[in-house]
Amino acid sequence: MARILITGGCGFIGSSLAFDLTSRGYQVTVVDNLSRRGSELNLSRLLAKGVEFANGDSRDPSSLEKLKETFACLVECSAEPSVLSAAVGDGARSLLDVNLLGALNSFEWARRRGVPVIFFSSSRVYPYDRLNACHYRETATRFEFVDGCPGVSPAGVSTGMPLDGIRSLYGASKLSAELILREYAAQYGLPAIISRCGVVAGPWQMARADQGIFTFWMARHYFRLPLQYIGFGGNGRQVRDLLHINDLTDLLARQVSALVERPSDFKGDIFNIGGSTRSSLSLCEATEICRRITGNEVAITSMMEDRPSDVIWYVSDNGPTGRAFGWEPKRSPEDILQDIFTWIKDNERLLREIFL
Ligand SMILES: NC(=O)c1ccc[n+]([C@@H]2O[C@H](COP(=O)([O-])OP(=O)(O)OC[C@H]3O[C@@H](n4cnc5c(N)ncnc54)[C@H](O)[C@@H]3O)[C@@H](O)[C@H]2O)c1
């Protein structure tokens, strides 16, 4: 069976995909510099499943050059994934080194070896100033989209949303890498898929306050630690769609298989990925679910000031993605938060180091 390379393969999405592909009979190699706290926990689980590991840094081209095997596909998941990185202070250079230079190094490697690429991009490529200027209705628990935004409808944000605007340095790093990959596809014929992903959550996400918010929310309830609603009125009504990691890996396995079998069909095509309107929730709705599942009520304070680059509402219109790959997400926000709760409960001693 074909061998797949996953960069950032000890992270949340990369490791989950490695397990899924292994169970489908693929051979998998992961490259990671283990910079994300908790990735070392995923590494020991991956090694136990026979996944090959190379300790490497995407910023250094020789990390991939050293690999001797033949690969049928590269899934590029190595990144600094927080939209808040470099939001203040001097972090721009290191963010761009990882997210842009690292991506470029992997595209160059793939071009020279003729390996098709799936690049993990983000919903953060869509400009937040445009999204926040849309018209929303405020209900008792959430904001609901009404109108006023080209490319956006109550079904979500489509890939047709105009991209001129402000999006955060994180979003800019992802969009820049996308543009380069599309040129590689057009000029060099490198088969490629670009996956613009919204919020993903599930077991083995080593969540932090600035990344992995719904897993973080459940962990804070589980360990009875305080939380804060930040911005947009300070009452937790901002909305995201939420995708279970297993729904994501189900789609990614279909994308890998399509890219391996029909590489010439993919020329840098862009797909939105998310839970869609079927799995959207606000923070205060997440609080209610976490309370119900854990039986714990934690103190939640309010901060009126918005966080840098934050959006009132983001839901992925993933209709075209579903039609292209015969896929739809199956798990609800309740299912997702319940799975995270069970994972924390079953691994409490290990996870104290991460969440406390
Ligand atoms: N998790 C989400 O909700 C989400 C949403 C949208 C997009 N994404 C994107 O998906 C991809 C994977 O995200 P994730 O949630 O698994 O993040 P993660 O932080 O869990 O995984 C990233 C992995 O990359 C590794 N890494 C970081 N810098 C590296 C470098 N220079 N060289 C080699 N390895 C390096 C980290 O150690 C980590 O294991 C990222 O590109 C992220 O931007 C994630």
Residue whose CB lies within 8 A of the most ligand 1 atoms, among 7, 12, 195, for a mutation test:
12
Tens digit of pLDDT at every position of the chain (356 positions): 899 999 999 999 999 999 999 999 999 999 999 999 999 999 999 999 999 999 999 999 999 999 999 999 999 999 999 998 888 888 999 999 999 999 999 999 999 999 999 999 999 999 999 999 999 999 999 999 999 999 999 999 999 999 999 999 999 999 999 999 999 999 999 999 999 999 999 999 999 999 999 999 999 999 999 999 999 999 999 999 999 999 999 999 999 999 999 999 999 999 999 999 999 999 999 999 999 999 999 999 999 999 999 999 999 999 999 999 999 999 999 999 999 999 999 999 999 999 99
Dist. CA 237 → ligand 1 center (Å): 27
Q: Which two tokens stand for residue 186?
A: 């057009």
Centre of ligand 1 from the C-alpha of residue 62, in Å: 20
Q: How far apart are CA 210 and CA 81, in angstroms?
A: 9
Question: Where do the H-state alpha helices sit in 8-142?
Answer: 12-23, 39-48, 62-65, 92-96, 102-113, 128-132
- Parallel/antiparallel/unpaired status of strands 239-244 and 280-282: antiparallel
- Apex 132 CA angle, 98 and 122, nearest 5: 25
Q: Where are the domains of the chain?
A: 3-355
What is the distance between the alpha carbons of residues 170 and 152, in angstroms, rounded to a whole number? Answer: 22
| φ, ψ at 249 (rounded to 5°) | -70, -30
Pairing of strands 313-314, 239-244: parallel
What distance in angstroms lies between residue 299's CA and the mean position of ligand 1's atoms? 30
Q: Identify the residue whose C-alpha is closest to ligand 1 atom 12.
A: 77
Q: Which of 25, 83, 84, 18 is nearest to 248 (CA)?
A: 18
Q: How far is CA 85 from the centre of its chain?
A: 15
Amino acid at residue number 239: V
CA of 8 to the centre of ligand 1 (A): 6
In 163-244, alpha helices (H): 169-188, 213-222
Task: Classify the phi-psi angles of 153: left when phi > 0, otherwise alpha if psi is within -120 to 50, otherwise beta.
Answer: beta
Residue reference for tokens 């203040």: 88
CA distances from 322 to 253, 257, 274 (A): 13, 15, 10
pTM for the complete prediction? 0.98
Q: String of b and e for 106-129 (b: at least 16 CB within 10 Å)?
A: bbbbbbeeebbbbbbbbbbbbbbe
Burial of 173 (0-12, 13-18, 19+ CB in 10 A): buried
Pick the CATH number of 3-355 from 3.30.9.30, 3.40.50.620, 3.40.50.720, 3.40.50.300: 3.40.50.720
Q: Strand pairing partners for 193?
A: 118, 269
Distance CA 220, CA 214 (A): 10
